[in-house]
Structure 1
Amino acid sequence: MQYPDLVILYVEQASQSARFYSRLFDLAPLAETPTFAMFRFASGMRLGLWSREAAEPGAEAMGGGGELAVRLDDAAALEACFDSWRAQGLRIVQPITEMDFGRTFVALDPDGHRLRAYVAAV
């Protein structure tokens, strides 16, 4: 069976983005070079950070065209995440809001990629 297990975000500086995501998720990269870093989450999903200049074929798009979504267990965890990300200096572009799919908020990483934290309604 085929299924996606890796999300790649194109970034300006892979090492700078790796430090950002290491702090954000309290997780060390599995691998890191000057142009690429790879993380693996407990769920098994992997996140790659690839320098836009080094990507083959060349990457044109940058942040904002999609979201990296983080599911949380409950409203208290969502509020704690919101407070933590705001304290770390992430730009919050959507405050905690009730949406059709549940409670959520959105922040941006240094390259403008959208980071959505949410608690599912179902």
Structure 2
Amino acid sequence: MFKPNSIIIYVKNVDISTDFYTKLFAQEPIETYPGFAVFLLKDEFVLGLQQADEITPKAPKHYGGFELSLSDVTKDEVDKIYSEWRKLNLKIELEPQMLDFGYTFVANDPDGHRLRVCATDTSNFA
């Protein structure tokens, strides 16, 4: 059975991205190597940062196109995280607002990967 235990995102500069995620997560990476860093997220799930021009096989010229999402928070926690991320000068793509699926906002990391925080409304899910 395939149950992923990590996600690796390609970045332009692993040092800049490592510094960014260290501040964002308020924790140091659990491992670093030349061109690569690993953060422990939740329940043994890890986030890897890979220098895009050092990956084998070579990464496509365009990378990204996904979101890291935090959706097990309350509306008040969404606002608190938004305030904290504004203080860290994250680029905000979507200001906090109610959408069909819940109260949410979206920011970007240095490579344009989306970071979504959402108090998901599961009342209509069956």
TM over 0.5: yes
Stretches of structure 1 lacking an aligned partner (at least 5 in a row): none
Distance, in Å, in 2 between the alignment partners of 1:83 and 1:91 is 12
- Alpha-carbon distance, 1:28 to partner: 1.3
Q: Which residue of the partner structure matches residue 27 of structure 2?
A: 27
Per-residue CA deviation, residues 27-54 of structure 1 (Å, 9 max, x unaligned), is: 2111112200011113321100000010
Distance, in Å, in 1 between the alignment partners of 2:72 and 2:84 is 14
Q: Which is higher, the Rg of structure 1 or of structure 2? A: 2
Within-5 A mapping of 1:31-110: 31-60=31-60, 61-63=62-64, 65-110=65-110
Identity over aligned pairs, percent: 36
Could you tell me the TM-score, scaled by structure 1's length? 0.93
Q: Which residue of the partner structure matches residue 113 of structure 2?
A: 113
Stretches of structure 2 lacking an aligned partner (at least 5 in a row): none
Could you tell me the TM-score, scaled by structure 2's length? 0.90
Per-residue CA deviation, residues 9-33 of structure 1 (Å, 9 max, x unaligned), is: 1001112111110110112111112
Give the secondary structure class of the aligned counterpart of 1:53: helix
Give me the CA root mean square deviation. Answer: 1.2
Aligned length: 121
- Alpha-carbon distance, 1:72 to partner: 4.0
Give the secondary structure class of the aligned counterpart of 1:69: strand
Distance, in Å, in 1 between the alignment partners of 2:97 and 2:39 is 29
CA contact (8 A) 1:15 1:34 kept: no
4+ aligned runs moved over 4 Å, structure 1? none
